Amino acid sequence: MKGFLGKRAIASAISLVGLIILVFFLSRLTGDPTDLYLPLDASQEARENFRNIHGLNDPLMVQFGRFVGDLARLDFGMSIRRAEPALDAVLRGFAWTLQLAAITMVLVTLLAIVIGSLAAFRVGGLFDRLATFFSLIGASAPDFWIAIVAIVLFSVNLGWVPTSGTGTPWHWILPIGVLFIRPFGLILQVVRGSMISTLSSAYIKTARAKGVKNRPIIFVHALRNAMLPVITVIGDQAAGLLNGAVVVESIFGFPGVGKLMIDSILQRDFAVVLAAIMVTALAIFVMNLLIDVLYAVLDPRIRY
Partner 1 sequence: MIRRTVCIAAAMLAAAGASQVAAQEDSITVVLSEELDIVDPCEASRSNVGRVVLQNIAETMTELVPGSGLQPRLAESWEDKGNGTWRFNLRSGVSFHDGTALDAADVAHSLERIKSEQISCEIGAKFFGGIDLTTNVVDDTTIEITADPAQPILPLLMSTVTVVPSETAMDSFVETPVGTGPYTFDEYARGQHIKLSLNPDYWGEEPAVRNATYVFRSDSAVRAAMVAAGEADIAPNIALQDASDASMDFSYPNSESVYMRPDTTMAPLDDIRVRQALNYAVDREAFVGTILADGTLLSTALVPPSTIGYNHDLEPYPFDLEKARALLEEARADGVPVDTEITLIGRTNNWGNVLETMEALLAMWQDAGFNMSLQMVEVAEWLEHYSNPFPEDRRPEIVAAQHDNANGDPVFSVFFKYASEGLQSAVRDPELDAMILDATTATGDEREAKWAELFKYIHTDKVYDVQLFHMVGFSRVNPRLDFTPTIRTNSELQLSQVSFN
Question: By the criterion CB under 8 A, which residues form the site for partner 1?
Answer: 30-32, 35-46, 49-50, 53, 79, 81-84, 89, 92-93, 96, 144, 148, 151-152, 155-156, 159, 162-167, 250-255, 259, 263, 267-268
How many residues does the structure list for the chain? 304
Q: Which is nearer to partner 1, 96 or 134 (CB)?
A: 96
Query: Contact 120/192 with Cβ under 8 angstroms?
Result: yes
* Contact residues for 196 (Cβ-Cβ < 8 A; gap 6+): 120, 123
Q: Which is nearer to partner 1, 84 or 236 (CB)?
A: 84
Q: Which is nearer to partner 1, 99 or 197 (CB)?
A: 99
**R_g over Cα of the chain:** 24
Min dist CB 63 to partner 1, Å, is 18
Cross-strand pairs, 78 = 85
d(CA 96, CA 44): 40
Q: Which is nearer to partner 1, 243 or 264 (CB)?
A: 264
Min dist CB 93 to partner 1, Å, is 7
Q: Which is nearer to partner 1, 39 or 169 (CB)?
A: 39
Min dist CB 251 to partner 1, Å, is 5
Min dist CB 121 to partner 1, Å, is 41
Locate all alpha helices (DSSP H) within the chain, ordered by sequence.
2-29, 33-37, 44-53, 60-72, 86-121, 126-140, 143-150, 170-199, 202-209, 214-216, 223-242, 246-251, 257-267, 270-298
Min dist CB 160 to partner 1, Å, is 10
End-to-end CA distance of the chain: 5
Q: Which is nearer to partner 1, 13 or 36 (CB)?
A: 36
Query: Contact 242/101 with Cβ under 8 angstroms?
Result: yes
Min dist CB 77 to partner 1, Å, is 14
d(CA 70, CA 147): 40
